[in-house]
Amino acid sequence: MTHPLSHERIMAEAERIKALGETAEREARDPVNQPTINNWLEAMGNDNARFRAGAAPPSMAQVWTMYGQGGKPSEDDPLHGMMEVLTAEGFTAVLGTNCEQTYERYLKVGEQLRVTTALESVVGPKQTAMGEGYFVTSRNTWYVADEVVATMLFRVLKFIPKGAK
């Protein structure tokens, strides 16, 4: 079982990070662009002509603000921060469990995106098939200028792998 003091520390940090709200804002490396769309279409085998005529695939929203090779979350990133807290308490393993994306509209080639991250909730400890862990949910919001164009709720299980002490 999770030590009561450990649980207290985890939940105190969760409250502190949640209170930061939408933070760790960052810009997409590149504007929405056709070559990146084309690579994605080829890899996915998607032949939708709409995506060769100025629109970007909606499920690419997250692609534009990926960290890329060697990129890392900033120290003030809420999800990263919560992961570090749980790792320090022995919850070393991570598994994505839910991803809920909402698209307000399709993006257009040439648009510049930025994204923010907020910690939505931390729930646990729970006994799962993977081991004991906490469910950590973050919310990303993508903007073009001040317009919200997409959001994502992303949940991971941060757990103590079975057999680990």
Partner 1 sequence: MKTGDRIPAWEVPITPTLVVSTAIATRDFQDVHHDRDLAQHHGSKDIFMNILTSTGLVERFVTDWAGHDTDVKGIAIRLGAPAYPYDALTFTGEVSSVDDGIATIDVKGAVSLGDHVVGTVRVSTGSIAGGAA
Catalog residues that contact partner 1 under the rule CB under 8 A.
Answer: 39-40, 42-46, 48-50, 53-60, 62-63, 66-70, 95-109, 161
Say how far apart CA 107 and CA 113 lie, in whole Å: 9
Question: Which residues share a beta bridge with 12?
Answer: none
Q: CA separation (Å) from 56 to 23, 109, 130, 140?
A: 26, 7, 37, 19
Nearest approach, Cβ of residue 32 and partner 1 (Å) = 9
Using the minimum distance from each CB to partner 1, give the nearer residue, 11 or 55.
55
Nearest approach, Cβ of residue 53 and partner 1 (Å) = 5
Using the minimum distance from each CB to partner 1, give the nearer residue, 13 or 154.
154
Using the minimum distance from each CB to partner 1, give the nearer residue, 60 or 136.
60
User: How many Cβ atoms are within 10 Å of 100's Cβ, its own excluded?
Assistant: 11
Say how far apart CA 42 and CA 28 lie, in whole Å: 22
Nearest approach, Cβ of residue 7 and partner 1 (Å) = 26
